Chains A and B, each alone.
Chain A
């Protein structure tokens, strides 16, 4: 049972939950940028939550299924056609052998997740099937998918379920919002900003630049300045860091960010809001609102509970 990439789309990659535990070797985690989208797509396919899926960017791929399959797509809204017929997102969808699955252009947002029942049978690299394009690490040598690629699917027991006529409400997991307001924790060097810059960071909108990618979203807005130059040596970095290079234009780090860096950190996007960061496309505006670590952690735990409830609910529906 294989899936053939007829057209790759703009940037389509294999992603799972990422490879933790290698930061000391200069190796980042990578993994799906919109984590809940991956988990929900997997839940809709009856897969373990971290199963490898496709992360699709802005313009979707065209796939030919060589074998019966069951798939689900979540994340940014994108038209889904199977042999020309429209099908819903946020629902399990049956695909018959020989069918052509076309994903169109995202109406909003930036990243869609496509999971198949069983997942893709690619060899893990350092314990993960995620692609790190920047580090050239992962299945397929860390490259995005291209036309002609044939992906093997892992065999699974015959699905008892009949993808029914139900779909999830996407709103909690993909809020349509413009501009998005992201919760920002104070960064180590926030206090070193000029007072005017500290105010501008929370009062002004920032625009996502065209050269943004999974390493980081480059933002443009009012120039932000430190009271005095911040001298620092290379220190650990994690996704979500809002870094301020000398240009005065911040960069919000994504899942392929370097594991260390030498620019000051003015903030940290709350983990609970990283999926919303993932969904900002070039040209989108975003805003920041201050948040404490305690509030961010509370919001994260609340979301984890909601996700776990949703996964349980989906599992019950699939076996009903």
Chain B
């Protein structure tokens, strides 16, 4: 029995649905399925794009009819081929999952909303930084803008509803909290999340290979850096 449902989106696109909400186990299964499909190297599959609970497949409709595609996908993702001793809700991360460390200058001009987050959480500013930098996050998906990572794993005490008034300009590299998620703005964009810091790392550069610093399924750790270190690293990347 497949552990996903299929929703046709368009003549050349379908969604594989592994769940409906935002949870780590479902998202891990999405990434596992994405790797399996990518590794299978099926010709005529143009996009394999994970979201929280679904996987988008785009294909060339001149090469696949839906029936043949679904059969191939089902075979590739057959959970019967997975080990039985794997606990159902274990975080089945591929062993190849990378851990990417992101240096962040928290607070000050880099993170103008850190006090608002601290106040909402009933924590000191330092405790917000400690908790944000202590967790290991998973890149659940990229979206909103090229290279924007939606990160799962935010400490529950740091969940803060989005700002009532979104900003029209958020600086590139801003590290932010929106609800139960944290993310990083790859370039200057409008945004409604709370800005708690900024990284000098460049998240998206179309001239680079790969263009994005982070890929779906990657693990992320934040490391606090001082403002002068931020300036120094930012110069290096510029």
Contact = CB atoms under 8 A, between A and B. Distances in A.
Contacts of B52: 233-235
A25 B66 CA distance: 25
A150 B12 CA distance: 37
A296 B61 CA distance: 11
Nearest to A142: B206
B21 interface: yes
Interface residues of B, number: 45
B168 to A, nearest CB: 15
B144 A26 contact: yes
Contacts of A236: 9, 13, 15, 49, 51, 54-56
A23 interface: yes
Interface string B1-25: 0000001111111010000111000
Interface in B49-82: 49-56, 58, 61-62, 65-66
Nearest to B209: A126
A137 B145 CA distance: 10
A234 B210 CA distance: 24
Contact of A293 (B50, B62, B66): B66
A235 B215 CA distance: 17
A292 to B, nearest CB: 10
A133 B147 CA distance: 16
Contacts of B143: 26, 234, 258-260
Contacts, number: 120
B47 interface: yes
B146 A24 contact: no
B144 A233 contact: no
Contacts of A20: 46-47, 58
A219 B46 CA distance: 30
Given A126-B211, A135-B146, A233 B22 contact: yes
Interface in A206-257: 232-236, 238, 240-241
Contacts of B10: 185, 238, 240-241, 268, 271
B141 A234 contact: yes
B49 A24 contact: yes
Given A271-B10, A271-B11, A271-B12, A25 B53 contact: no
Q: Could you say which of B11, B12, B148, B216 has the most chain A C-beta atoms within 10 Å of its C-beta?
A: B11
27 contacts: A21-B46, A22-B146, A22-B211, A23-B56, A24-B47, A24-B49, A24-B50, A24-B142, A25-B210, A26-B143, A26-B144, A26-B146, A26-B148, A188-B9, A233-B20, A234-B51, A235-B51, A236-B51, A238-B12, A260-B51, A260-B141, A265-B9, A271-B11, A293-B8, A293-B66, A300-B11, A301-B62
Closest 5 A-B residue pairs measured CB to CB? A236-B56, A23-B49, A26-B142, A260-B143, A23-B47
Interface of A: 20-27, 125-126, 135-137, 185, 188, 232-236, 238, 240-241, 258-260, 265, 268, 270-271, 293, 296-297, 300-301, 304
